[in-house]
């Protein structure tokens, strides 16, 4: 399953209240530092489930 990282200038509460964010979507609010972006990506990649055949 794909991990989705959404970046927005809107507050998380506003997006969630309007039904724009699903529970599986991860939000990184703007403005953010490049280190915060890379840390979040690493976190999401570690959460991935290995593909089994």
What pLDDT, in 10s, does the model give residues 3-18? 888 888 877 666 666 6
Please tell me the pTM assigned to this model: 0.65
pLDDT (0 to 100) of residue 39 = 97
Strand 4-8 to 25-29 pairing: parallel
Closest CA to 2 of 25, 19, 21, 29: 25
């Amino acid at each position: 399953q794909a991990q989705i990282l959404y970046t927005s200038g809107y507050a998380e509460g506003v997006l969630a209240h309007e039904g724009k964010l699903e529970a599986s979507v991860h939000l990184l609010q703007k403005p953010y530092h490049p280190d915060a972006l890379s840390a979040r990506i690493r976190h999401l990649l570690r959460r991935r489930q290995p593909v089994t055949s």
